[in-house]
């Protein structure tokens, strides 16, 4: 059974929840990530998610499979949107079912935290001022330049301010 999917279409939470029903499950927890209208002080108008499909699915499956084993889940699934999204749209859905509630809560948190740090999915924000940028890439690119410039100088050579 698939445990991680990318979707170009809006996510249907009820259908996703029903896919985790199981006679052995006594509890179900879900997390929905929604598109927010603000990031780091800038007003976001809309955004785009882009994925490297083969690796995103591979990493996603690995994470959800690890959660199932680690927390003894009955079932688990994560679905992530790709393409253009508007404010309020659901960007990601994570669901876990387990015999008891504790494992479902913990595993749901584990899955979304891991998805955010290691699955090859990128987010481009479009701001109301007309600017746009890839989250986690534009600022770190600036830092990278500073970093590279710093390293380009040999010992004893003062870095440019």
Partner 1 sequence: MKTLHIEYYALLREQAGVKQQTVQSETRTPAELYSQLAAKHGFSLGTEQLRAVVNEEFVNWDRQLNDGDRVVFIPPVAGG
Residues of the shown chain interacting with partner 1 in the complex, contacts defined by CB under 8 A: 33, 49-52, 54-56, 58, 80, 91-92, 112, 115-124, 134-138, 140-142, 144-145, 147-148
Number of neighbours of residue 50 by Cβ within 10 angstroms? 14
- Nearest CB to partner 1, comparing residues 87 and 135: 135
What minimum distance in Å lies between the beta carbon of 98 and partner 1?
Answer: 22
Closest alpha carbon to 121 in 85, 83, 93: 83
Query: Mind giving me the DSSP string for 10-73?
Result: ---HHHHHHTT--TT--EEEEEEEE--SEETTEEEEEEEEEE-HHHHHHHHHHHHHHHHHHHT-
- Nearest CB to partner 1, comparing residues 51 and 67: 51
- Nearest CB to partner 1, comparing residues 20 and 82: 82
What minimum distance in Å lies between the beta carbon of 118 and partner 1?
Answer: 7
- Nearest CB to partner 1, comparing residues 74 and 95: 95
């Amino acid at each position: 059974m698939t445990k991680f999917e990318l979707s170009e279409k809006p996510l249907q939470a009820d259908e996703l929840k029903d896919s985790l029903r199981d006679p052995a499950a006594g509890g179900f927890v879900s997390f929905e990530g929604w598109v927010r209208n603000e990031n780091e002080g800038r007003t976001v108008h809309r955004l785009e998610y882009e994925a490297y499909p083969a690796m995103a699915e591979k990493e996603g499956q690995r994470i959800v499979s690890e959660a199932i084993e680690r927390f003894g889940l009955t079932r688990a699934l994560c679905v992530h949107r790709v393409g253009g999204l508007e404010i309020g749209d659901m960007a990601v859905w994570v669901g876990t079912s387990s015999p008891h509630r504790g494992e479902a809560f913990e595993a749901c948190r584990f899955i979304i935290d891991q998805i955010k740090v290691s699955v090859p999915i990128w987010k481009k924000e479009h701001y109301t001022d007309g600017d746009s940028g890839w989250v986690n890439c534009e600022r770190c690119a600036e830092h990278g330049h500073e970093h590279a410039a710093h390293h380009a100088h040999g010992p004893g050579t003062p870095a440019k301010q």
